[in-house]
Every structure is written in structure tokens, then in C-alpha cells.
Structure 1
Amino acid sequence: MKRGRVAYRGAIHEAYPDEIGVRLSDGRVCREEDVVWLAPIEVGTIIALGLNYAEHAKELAFSKQEEPLVFLKGPGTVIGHRGVTRRPSDVKFMHYECELAVVIGRSAKEVSRDHAMDYVAGYMVANDYAIRDYLENYYRPNLRVKNRDGGTVLGPWFVDAADVPDVTQLDLRTYVNGSLQQKGNTRDLVTDIPALIEYLSGFMTLAPGDVILTGTPDGVVNVNAGDEVVCEIDGLGRLINVIASEAEFGRV
């Protein structure tokens, strides 16, 4: 099942896909543009992977790391489908990152690879923006690169794990203003989902609602104010986001 969360006429609703746009839990049907999209779930800890596709690491001239490159993100980073992300006026290279988001369904501590997928509740599309100008190094991506308010777009849907037949064979695509810029497949993950859960749960307890962002393929390009960025993953949905300037956020 696909389900999301939206705000409409002063209330928050669970929502489902409909031919017209979106069907609210009370039965009303709305166009996508007439609701405010929230993240599909109440997000817990966000655990993000860097350079987890070999071609993307090569694109950035970075050799394979011995352990997964992992960092945490705060809740203020998250916005929903059709949300707006601010581009700072002082940067030269800000780029999208289309990623498979894995949602943990139950408490996981010291889970073996063989049982790791039993702890997955479902999946979402993520677009996790990065600002290359602020990067100190790939082993320590500082807060300004990856923890910006509104820099992590999730949605539009949460899709139950049981409804994704093979999560290891999903195509990912990113379009900027309608032009295909990024394409990859989850079969090319350097560290796959079971290995990630085994690794992470070996030193921290994963809780229901925690989200693992599994990394992005190669094909990132700079985006500017006014650009529309669309991230797609087979079977999970089409996540739309718009870039806005500092001035549009009331900042000069």
C-alpha cells in the first residue's frame, strides 16, 4: 500500500493515490496542488550514506572507503513532496541527490545480515540536497552541507516493504526542468541494505521510524533558483521539489 500525509483545510490527513490526485482518509479527493504535502511518516533519526554508489564516488574522484560513510541529519531538514528548498546566494554548486529511503519498522540491535530485512517497514523516495562549496572533506561532511533546513525532501508516499518485490533492482531517475540528468539502479549500491542494517545496528539501536538514506548514483549537476527537480524510483513514486532564492525566503 502507498500512503502519505497532507495538510488540507486546517487538518492533517492520511492520504492515498487517486486518479485525480490524492484521496484523503475521510474520502474527499483533491488535486495534488491543493494540499500541503508532509513527509509520509513521522521521521525519527535520519541516517545518511555518502558515496554508496561506485560511479558517484568515481564522479567525485573518491576511492572506496573501508567502512560506510555515515552521518546523521536533524528533523528540521525534512520537507514533503512539492516543497521548496532554499539555495543560498553565496554558493556555486548545489546539487540534488535522488536516494532510496529505507524506513525501520521495529527496534533493531545487533541484527545479522540474514535477518536484517525483517526490520524494514517500507520505503520512500528521498532528494537529499548537498552544497559542495561548504564541504570540508568526504569523511566529515559538515553541518552546512547536509543539515540545512528544508534540504531533505521525502515522499510523496510511504510504500510497504511487502509491496516492493525486489528492492535490489529499482531504477532511480532525476529530472531537472524536464531533462533527465541522473539515472542509476539499487543493484549498484556499494553497501546493500542488509549490510547497512547489520553495520548500523552493531553500534546503535535503530528505532521504528528511523530512516536510512542509502546514497545517490552519479549524474549530479548544479541547480539554481527556479529549477524544478523531480526524483523517481520504480514503484515508489515521483517526488517534485522546487529551488528558491534567498530573496523568495525573505532574505537578501
Structure 2
Amino acid sequence: MKLVRYGESGAEKPGLLDADGAIRDLSGVVDDIAGDVLTDDGLAKLAAVDPASLPLVDGNPRFGPCVGQVGKFLAIGLNYVDHAAEVGAKLPEEPIVFSKAITCITGPNDTVEIPRGSVQSDWEVELGFVIGKKAKYVSEADAMDYVAGYCIVNDVSERDFQMRRSGQWLKGKSHDTFGPIGPWLVTKDEVADPHDLKMTCSVNGEIQQDGSTNTMHFKVPQIIAHLTQFMTLMPGDVIATGTPPGVGMGKNPPMFLKDGDVMELTVEGLGHQRQVCRSAE
């Protein structure tokens, strides 16, 4: 299934895409694409619904973040072999983990705001996965049982805030709108191999990132096993898994976002994002 949340910001409704790519309203079945809806039982309930029996949504409504009521938004740094090489970093011995504030989460096509004082705002196309059940001390062998599905994440980052503001990556990762998610949450049964997906990011029509999840250093099962040694993951938690090469920071000379720039992102099978950048007032 491809699950969506559509409508105005803060008032999104749950939906799914039918075989023709049209949105069908799930409001009569579930309140939101969140929490227990993402468990195995919750997804089985949705899979049993005939899309043709659901109301057809007219027009082209806004896509909201594909997951609601996110409790934790975590990310893995320097997790692509070729990205680490482009920025001259050594591959970590265990996953580098950081948080993005949940207030940065936004829809896949919403405006991205460049923060006041920003000089190094950057893009990062990433594969995100969503947790489907409570996970604590999970083994790598069992880890995929805890995945509800996958989505595109743009891990927008302000590098100056990230690298030179007292060492806290969180500061450069959490500005409002720095976490576009979606457009779809694609359930794991529709993704044959999350570690072999093409991914791209263009800025103003020029491809900047053209990579694949097959260069991921720590795979999804390793990430889940690692995280659950330190914290309990809950249904609806979102984890971004790192980015391939081509970020602005890694270019020579470096290239960063400015007012009016347009980012477009794809991950194979997970849809397309498009964001226009605007400077904060």
C-alpha cells in the first residue's frame, strides 16, 4: 500500500493511493496514519479494505507528511561509503545518531525556509523508514519485522549551525521545514530490497545527487538493532538512513541553497518531492 496524509497543514486526513494513483479517503476507517495504525494488525486492517469502496478525493490536494504524530525523528550520519569519501570523513565504527526536532517535519512539497543568519543550507535525499511496533533490544535477525514502511526524507541541513555551533548537529538539522517527509508511506511488502533503490536530488533542474541505497554502510537491520540498545522505538518513529554523495558541502567550491532555489528529490518506488526555498523573514 501507499498511504498518504492530505489536506491543509495541521488538518491532514488519512488516505491511500488506488491502482490508478488517485487518493482514496480513509477517514471512515482510521483517524490518522499514525501509532497503532502502523502495527502489523493496523496495516492488515487497511490492506483488507477495497480501495474502490472508499471516497475518491477530488482535485490535487496538498500532501502532508506521510506519518502523523511522530514521536521521534532520528537520523544516521555519514552512512554512505561514497558520501563519507566526498567530505573526507572516515567511516564510523558504529552508527552516528542524531535527532531532528519533530517541529521540522513538513509536507513533501511545502516551502523550505532558509533560517535567519544561514550561510550554508544544504540538501540531503534520504531513505526513511517508519517503525511499526514497539522495539527494544532487537536483534539484526528480527529487525525487519519492526518496519512498517519506507518514505523519502529530505534531511535539510544548515552546515554552519551543524559543524561550528558548539558541536551539536541538532542545531543544524532542526529548523522549521527542515524535514520534508513523503509523499507516500510505502508499506514494506512493496519494497523488495530497501538497500537497492536509486535516489536523486536536483537543485534548479540540475542533478546534484545521483546515488543508490546500495552504498549504505550500516543497513536498516543494523540501524534498528543499534538504536534499540539505547532507546525504545515506537510505532510512527521515523529514521532517516543517510545520504549519497552530491551534497552542497562536498562540492568544490561548496554550493548552498538560496532564496528561490528549487529542490526535487526521488527515491525509487517512493515518489517525488519538490520544495521551493524561501528566506526566513
Provide TM-score, normalisation by structure 2.
Answer: 0.81
- 1:89 CA drift (Å): 4.7
Aligned equivalents of 1:9 and 1:146: distance in 2?
21
Q: Which has the higher strand share?
A: 1
What is the 5 A alignment of 1:221-232?
A: 221=248, 222-232=256-266
User: What's the counterpart of residue 5 of structure 1?
Assistant: 5
8 Å CA contact retained: 1:102, 1:211: yes
Correspondence 1:218 to 2:252: no
Letter in 1 for 2:58: C
**Worse overlay, 191-200 or 60-69:** 60-69
Correspondence 1:60 to 2:60: no
- 1:138 CA drift (Å): 11
**Worse overlay, 189-198 or 7-16:** 7-16
Letter in 1 for 2:56: R
- 1:24 CA drift (Å): 3.6
What is the 5 A alignment of 1:116-195?
A: 116-136=143-163, 140-195=167-222
8 Å CA contact retained: 2:22, 2:56: no
8 Å CA contact retained: 1:103, 1:120: yes
**Aligned residues between the structures:** 245
User: What's the counterpart of residue 205 of structure 1?
Assistant: 232
Aligned equivalents of 2:271 and 2:4: distance in 1?
11
Correspondence 1:40 to 2:66: yes
Letter in 2 for 1:224: K
Match for 2:274 among 237, 240, 245?
240
After superposition, give the CA deviation of every residue in 1:3-45 in whole Å (9 maximum; x if it has no partner).
Answer: 110115995322334658644445233343xx23211112221
Match for 1:27 among 55, 68, 77?
55
Correspondence 1:99 to 2:126: yes
Aligned equivalents of 1:208 and 1:138: distance in 2?
32
The secondary structure found in structure 1 opposite 2:184 is strand
- 1:194 CA drift (Å): 0.5
Aligned equivalents of 1:142 and 1:64: distance in 2?
17
- 1:182 CA drift (Å): 0.3
After superposition, give the CA deviation of every residue in 1:84-139 in whole Å (9 maximum; x if it has no partner).
Answer: 11113533221111000010100111111111101101001000101112133699
8 Å CA contact retained: 2:140, 2:222: yes
Aligned equivalents of 2:178 and 2:278: distance in 1?
12
8 Å CA contact retained: 1:20, 1:31: no
The share of aligned pairs that are identical, in percent, is: 37
Letter in 1 for 2:150: Y
8 Å CA contact retained: 2:99, 2:170: no
| Residues 166 and 20 (structure 1), Cα distance of their counterparts in 2 relative to 1, 3 Å cut | closer
8 Å CA contact retained: 1:40, 1:157: yes
Provide TM-score, normalisation by structure 1.
Answer: 0.89
After superposition, give the CA deviation of every residue in 1:22-72 in whole Å (9 maximum; x if it has no partner).
Answer: 44445233343xx23211112221111111011111211111122211011
Letter in 2 for 1:165: A
Aligned equivalents of 2:191 and 2:76: distance in 1?
21
Letter in 1 for 2:274: I
Letter in 1 for 2:13: H
Aligned equivalents of 1:88 and 1:139: distance in 2?
18
8 Å CA contact retained: 2:152, 2:183: yes
8 Å CA contact retained: 2:101, 2:170: no
After superposition, give the CA deviation of every residue in 1:151-175 in whole Å (9 maximum; x if it has no partner).
Answer: 1100000000011111111011111
Unaligned runs of 5+ in 2: 27-53, 249-255
| Residues 162 and 243 (structure 1), Cα distance of their counterparts in 2 relative to 1, 3 Å cut | same
Aligned equivalents of 1:187 and 1:105: distance in 2?
23
The two structures, once aligned, show a CA RMSD in angstroms of 2.3
User: What's the counterpart of residue 49 of structure 1?
Assistant: 76
Unaligned runs of 5+ in 1: none
Letter in 2 for 1:29: V
The secondary structure found in structure 1 opposite 2:82 is helix
